[in-house]
């Protein structure tokens, strides 16, 4: 599968956290979030801690936890873990329904990052793994396994790893670059709309059941 003409990137977050994101005007990296209290954490604490020490090899001195992470697909493997709610390291047990997808355009993000001297990178597999490889520069996007990214059957180990490729933006990610919010149901759409009430930037909200399990 060739590189998509306009690749999109996706960050998943609990609907409860959206109001604070809108108020801050940005998403924060885990290295910042560990200093802030509150919010509904949907990730695994041990993995988040490991990411704080894993180097992003194409940017000397920076670790994975110092970047805001995105997937290259909706309906990610992490969302499947949340949906199953049976992983021993997953503290969150609230299911996939309250989780929302924040979608942005990769090329617009790169343009913003380079105009604002903000470092960015992407991994060819799970960025929280010790063995993953990192790249920066759009000329290397073809190294991502786009077939795996698009796969709905991720039981083969190589597909599972490649599907978890991540796009990373240093420190924070501006709210105004979020173009669309995909939600599970009308009820969650209403919660999202309320969280954005009065905001200058209000992305389109769409019920996207095909982004969920």
Alpha helices in the chain (DSSP H): 18-24, 30-33, 45-51, 77-84, 106-115, 146-150, 157-163, 186-195
Q: Are strands 204-207 and 180-183 parallel, antiparallel or unpaired?
A: parallel
Of these residues, 51, 75, 161, 191, which one is catalytic?
51
Catalytic, 119? Answer: no
Task: Point out which residues pair with 172 in neighbouring strands.
Answer: 28
- Cβ burial of 180 (10 Å; 0-12, 13-18, 19+) is middle
Beta partners for residue 121, in sequence order: 168
173 DSSP β-pair partners: 27
- The reply to whether 103 belongs to the active site is no
Pick the catalytic residue: 66, 103, 161, 166? 166
Residues marked as catalytic: 51, 166
């Amino acid at each position: 599968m060739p590189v998509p003409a306009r690749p999109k990137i996706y960050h998943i977050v609990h609907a409860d956290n959206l109001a604070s994101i809108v108020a801050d005007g940005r998403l924060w990296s885990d290295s910042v979030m560990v200093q802030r209290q509150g919010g509904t954490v949907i990730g695994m604490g041990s993995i988040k801690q490991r990411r704080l020490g894993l180097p992003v090899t194409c940017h000397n001195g920076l670790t994975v936890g110092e970047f805001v992470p995105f997937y290259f697909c909706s309906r990610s493997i992490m969302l499947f873990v949340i949906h199953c709610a049976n992983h021993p390291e997953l503290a969150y047990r609230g299911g996939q329904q309250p989780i929302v997808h924040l979608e942005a355009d990769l090329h617009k993000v790169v343009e913003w990052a380079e105009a604002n001297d903000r470092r960015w990178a992407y991994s060819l597999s799970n960025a929280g793994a010790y063995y993953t490889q990192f790249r920066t520069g759009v000329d290397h996007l073809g190294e991502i396994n786009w077939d795996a990214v698009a796969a709905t059957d991720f039981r083969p180990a190589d597909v599972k790893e490649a599907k978890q490729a991540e796009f990373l933006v240093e420190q924070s990610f501006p709210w105004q670059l979020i173009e669309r919010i995909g939600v599970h149901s009308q009820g969650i759409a209403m919660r999202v709309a309320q969280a954005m009430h009065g905001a200058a930037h209000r992305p389109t909200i769409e019920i996207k059941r095909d982004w969920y399990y």
